[in-house]
Amino acid sequence: MQRLFIDSVSKSFANRKVLSSVFLNCEIGEVVGLLGRNGSGKSTLLKIIFGSVKADFKYLNIDNKIYDKGYLSKNLCYLPQDNFIPNRVTVAVAIEAFCKIHKEKLLQIPFVSDNLGKRFRDFSGGECRFLEALIIIYSDADFILLDEPFSQLAPLLIEELKRHVNDLKLFKGFIITDHYYKTILDVSDRIVLLHNGCNYEINNNNDLVLHGYLPNLNG
């Protein structure tokens, strides 16, 4: 079974420990939801896995090979919080750069096929987010990191994006984080919470209350 595994992740910023001995794994065929309050280190952890942020210490293994930066495996794609495709690039060119294996499936999506000749500057912020997320989801990589993919999206587009994640998880493993925690709970097979620099497996909402992510409405 193909697997992404990162262990013993430690990271500090200005003498503040953000991550301490954190571990996370993801296999092909599953969606791992990553939750945590602002500043808990969710985006930092994804960037460390991808390789755009250097950890103080980590052990990263992808498909039984050790990597210093995840992108060097050429089997990992990452959707950052900010737009990453240049405004002047057309949808068709972006798809050609990222998607070959699942290109035909991506082109069956009407919003994609109807706008192949448009440049990203021609879309609204939400439309850009939707297109970039789709391109990463349908990319050739087996492991997909999505940081705030549902941000800026209308409810109908959120539901559509969830469907595409579920469709592609037959071929891929996903790690997703977002402030829309209910959406994360809906789309994920397994939930991990980052809290006080550590990671916790979450089995139900009571666990989220226990670790301070949700308020205790019965207290």
What domains lie within the chain, and their CATH numbers? 3-210 (3.40.50.300)
pLDDT confidence tier of residue 139, bands split at 50, 70 and 90: very high
pTM: 0.95
Give residue 73's pLDDT. Answer: 95
Strand-pair category, 143-147 with 76-79: parallel
Give residue 192's pLDDT. Answer: 96
Give residue 174's pLDDT. Answer: 98
Cross-strand partners of 172: none
Give residue 205's pLDDT. Answer: 86
Give residue 218's pLDDT. Answer: 64
Instruction: For residue 207, count CB atoms less than 10 angstroms from its CB and return exposed for 0-12, middle for 13-18, buried for 19 or more.
Output: middle
Please, which residues have CB within 8 angstroms of residue 143's CB and are 6 or more apart in sequence? 4, 26, 62, 70, 75, 76, 77, 172, 173, 174, 175
Q: Express each pLDDT in 12-67 by its tens digit.
A: 998 889 999 999 999 999 999 999 999 899 999 999 999 999 999 999 999 999 99
